[in-house]
Amino acid sequence: MLRHYDALGLVRPTGRTVGGYREYSAADVRRIFQVESLRSLGLSLKQIGRALEDPAFTPSALVGDLIRWTEERLARERELLERLRAIDASAPGDWQDVLGTVELMRALDSSSAARRQQAVLARPEGRPVPAELLAGAVLAESDPIVGGALRWALARSGGDGVAALAAGARSEDAEVRRRAVLAIAGTPRAPGAAAVLTEALADPDPLVRGPAALALGGLGVAAAVPVLVGMVVEGSRDVEAAEALGTLSRDPDCADRITAALADELAAPTADPATRIRLVQALVELAGTTGRQVLRRLARDGDRTVALVASALARVLDERSRPPEDRTGGDS
């Protein structure tokens, strides 16, 4: 190393012994330590020589470049690490399996949405796709059609993609959170899914809260009630939200809570006629008789349109509750 430094003129010994050995002074040794210190920062020997010899050479620009180059190198290293982990998770039996996973990763990175979709849908039977790889692709996918294909493949993978998606559900990027929750909602019974979805109920983005509430409603999780009622009020996937409320209302305690929440929204001074009609229609989905009782009261509502809709729906529920032989139309 010292001979190389000497040849480059980077660190030259002050003198030589009678036997021809290099002699380094205290200043030479300090110079050697300076060279090694700058090498530890990633500077090339040429850059080090310039830094030590040129008084006009300022460190700020070079240090900024070193930071950028290091960040780029770390990003490449992280990408390589993720690829290696994805291959390891696929439990390859031979090098053909490894090459197949690498090809899939390349296809998922393609700029062509058609190629990304084909890579997922045309995967040979019996060749598993690592759930972690699919989860990462779901979080990064902006095309809704390809995103649907990826969620389908993730649900069929049999792996635990919830852990990878959970990090996305807590991302600062609302779009990433939407993709994560939508994917988790597709497999709500997977281990850990309900906990992530319950946390998502408090998300400020309604497009995150909504899918989470719908999935939890299907599981019978009462914590979803306020969000589901809000979806009916806002007219956001209100039919699905009403159906989820109907599922939850099979629990008598939850039925009373849902009915009270819908009744409160109906009585709100800010509720416009369209909102009130959506709330009336949601009452039809509820199990038991509490929804029917509210409908009968609404049949006398001051808003004639609301009263007519409530009256008609109350009659429908009354008809359904009668024995088949007593229903209008007899055996028809």
Per-residue pLDDT reduced to its tens digit, 183-232:
999 989 989 999 999 999 999 999 999 999 999 999 999 999 999 999 99
What is the C-alpha to C-alpha distance for residues 116 and 110, in angstroms, rounded to an integer? 6
Domain total for the chain? Answer: 1
- pTM score above 0.75: no
What is the C-alpha to C-alpha distance for residues 57 and 222, in angstroms, rounded to an integer? 67
Share of the chain above pLDDT 90, in %: 40
* Domain boundaries, position 326: 220-332
pLDDT at 12 over 50: yes
- 148 within a domain of the structure (yes/no): no
What is the C-alpha to C-alpha distance for residues 66 and 62, in angstroms, rounded to an integer? 6
pLDDT in the model for residue 216: 97
76-99 pLDDT per residue, tens:
888 888 888 878 877 788 888 888
- 104 within a domain of the structure (yes/no): no
H-type helices in the chain, by residue range? 2-8, 26-40, 45-53, 59-89, 95-108, 113-121, 131-140, 144-156, 162-169, 174-185, 193-200, 206-219, 225-234, 238-248, 252-267, 273-284, 290-298, 304-321
- 5 within a domain of the structure (yes/no): no
Q: Residue 8 — very low, low, confident or very high, per pLDDT cuts 50/70/90?
A: confident
- 319 within a domain of the structure (yes/no): yes
Helix axes 290-298, 273-284, angle to 10 degrees: 150
- Of 48-52, 122-126, 232-236, least confident by mean pLDDT is 122-126
pLDDT at 331 over 50: no
- 16 within a domain of the structure (yes/no): no
- 326 within a domain of the structure (yes/no): yes
- 37 within a domain of the structure (yes/no): no
Q: Coil, strand or helix: which one is 257?
A: helix
pLDDT in the model for residue 230: 96
14-52 pLDDT per residue, tens:
888 877 888 888 988 898 898 888 888 888 888 888 888
- 297 within a domain of the structure (yes/no): yes
pLDDT in the model for residue 84: 84
